[in-house]
Amino acid sequence: MFRKLAILGWLTFSCFSLVASELTPEQANEYLKIPDTFSTSGEFVQHKHFKILDKPFVSSGFFKNEGDTFEWTTLVPVTSALIFDGKTLWQQESDGQLKPLLLAGHYIVVVEALVTGDIKRLGDFFRFETYQKTSCLKLLPKDKQMALIAKTIDFCYENSQLKVQLNESEGNYTTIDISLAAIDDKTRD
């Protein structure tokens, strides 16, 4: 009887370890093996899955990081750009004018860290957990405000490709597929 219970306990523990084990940013980096020289610019394709819409809404564009400035530009289906200069987030209007976006200033930092695979930075906002897929991590927001972006984030790195899934509220979710535009030779801190 005791032996059976011990085996059952060991099995439960092993399953739990496999399903969810919390990692430090260093362990997470080691786990996904994202190279230090991962691109800080690339292209993206975004699929928005809203329960209310019969089919996903697809948009695409590119992003680039130059010095302190991060730019997220959507080309399809409409052209628009978000520019973060390190302090303020600006939205570029169709006429080229820049409008500050005060409320989303700190979200863009997270987006930048997600699409450039900056796990150290992501560690400021999320806890990391492993789950079924060996090439993926589950990101859990450290505070409720960050949970407004997504309740959880599936963050995967496979075949030199990043794939991010934002699991939002009400059953809605967004997937972002990142493909590298060019390998940046700058080494990240």
Partner 1 sequence: MKNGRSILLIAQLVVMLILLVFVSINGIRFKADLLSMLPNTEYPNAVAHAESKLFSQAANRIMLSFSGDAKAQAYDDMLEGIQKYGWQAQLPESQQIERLAAFYSQFSGALLSEGYKREIASPVSFEQYFLHQLSQVSSPWISKTINTDPSLATASYLEHILSVQAALILENGRLVAANSPEKPLVLFIALSADPKDSQGVNFSIKTANELSSLTNMLAAKYASVKIDASGMVLHTAENAANAKWEMNVFGGLSLTLTLLIVIWAFRSLAPVLWLSFTIANAFVFGFCIVAVTFDAVHFITLVFGVTLIGVGVDYCLHVLTNRYSKDKISVGKTIFFAFITTFLCYSLLFFTPLLILKQVAVFVSAGLFAAFVASFWIEKTSSLSWVNRGIRPRNCERLLKLLTQTPRLNVAFGGLILILFIVKTPVFDDNIAMLNASSTSLTEAQSYHHQLLGQQGKIRVFLYEQSLQSLLKNEEGLADKLTREFSNIELVKLSDWIPSTRNQAANRQLQQHAYHSDVYEPLLQLSPNFKLAANNDLVTLNNFVAANGSDYIARYYVDVEPFHVSVLEIGNISLSQLRPIVENTHNAVIFDKQSALTEVLKSFRKQMTYWLLGAIALISILLWARFDWSTMLKSLFVIVVSISGALVASSLYQHSLNIFNLLSAILLMGLAVDYLIFHREHPKTNANILAITLSALSSLLVFGMLAFSQTPAIYSFGITVTAGLILIYLLAPLVIKEENEQRSI
Q: What are the residues binding partner 1 (CB under 8 A)?
A: 46, 48, 50-55, 57, 59, 72, 74, 77-78, 80, 82, 87, 94, 102-107, 111, 125, 142-146, 148-150, 166, 168-172, 174, 176
Amino acid making up residue 157: Y
Residue 182 φ/ψ, nearest 5 degrees: -160, 150
Rounded to the nearest whole angstrom, what is the least distance from the CB of residue 47 to partner 1 in the complex? Answer: 11
Residue 48 Cβ, how far from partner 1 at the closest point, in Å? 6
- As beta bridge partners, residue 178 has 44, 162
CB 157 to partner 1: min, Å: 19
Q: Of the candidates 27, 52, 33, which has an alpha carbon nearest to the alpha carbon of residue 129?
A: 27
In sequence order, what E strands does 27-172 have? 41-49, 57-66, 69-76, 80-84, 89-92, 98-100, 126-130, 136-141, 152-158, 161-167
The distance of closest approach from Cβ of residue 101 to partner 1 in the complex, given in angstroms and rounded to an integer, is: 8
Of 1 and 103, CB closest to partner 1:
103
Closer to partner 1 by Cβ: residue 4 or 99: 99
Q: Which residue has the tokens 């409320």?
A: 103
Of 38 and 125, nearer to partner 1 (C-beta) is: 125
* Residue (79 or 161) nearer to partner 1, CB: 79
